Amino acid sequence: MSEPGAMTVRRAALREQQLAFRAVTAITGTVVGLAFLFGFGNVWTLALRQGVSAWVALLVAPAVDLSVLALLLAIRYLALYGAPATALRPARRLLLLSC
């Protein structure tokens, strides 16, 4: 039978680990959100400078960021599940062109 003190130590370590995971998740979410806003502002400003109407620019700006996110997720998913390099090459090219 384990000692009562060992259980307390394990619970404390588990709580600290959960706190660290939550902190890292919150920080990562904040960084991603700020990067999205930065990219949104840049694309929106560029579209307005190119003469695109404001409401169309508001639709185009998040589409660019979401396309990059979708490509990143798709490439990661395909790589994890064993897709050959020839299948990943077009997606990687499109990602390079969109950045």
Q: Tell me the C-alpha distance between 7 and 11, whole Å.
A: 6
Position 99 scores a pLDDT of 65
Q: Tell me the C-alpha distance between 80 and 4, whole Å.
A: 42
Q: Domain ranges for the chain, please list them.
A: 4-98
Position 69 scores a pLDDT of 83
Position 95 scores a pLDDT of 83
Distances (CA, A) of 7 to 1, 16, 45, 56, 72: 11, 14, 57, 59, 42
pLDDT in tens, the chain (99 residues): 556 667 788 888 889 999 998 999 899 889 988 888 898 899 889 999 999 998 898 888 888 888 888 888 888 889 989 999 999 899 889 888 876
Position 3 scores a pLDDT of 62
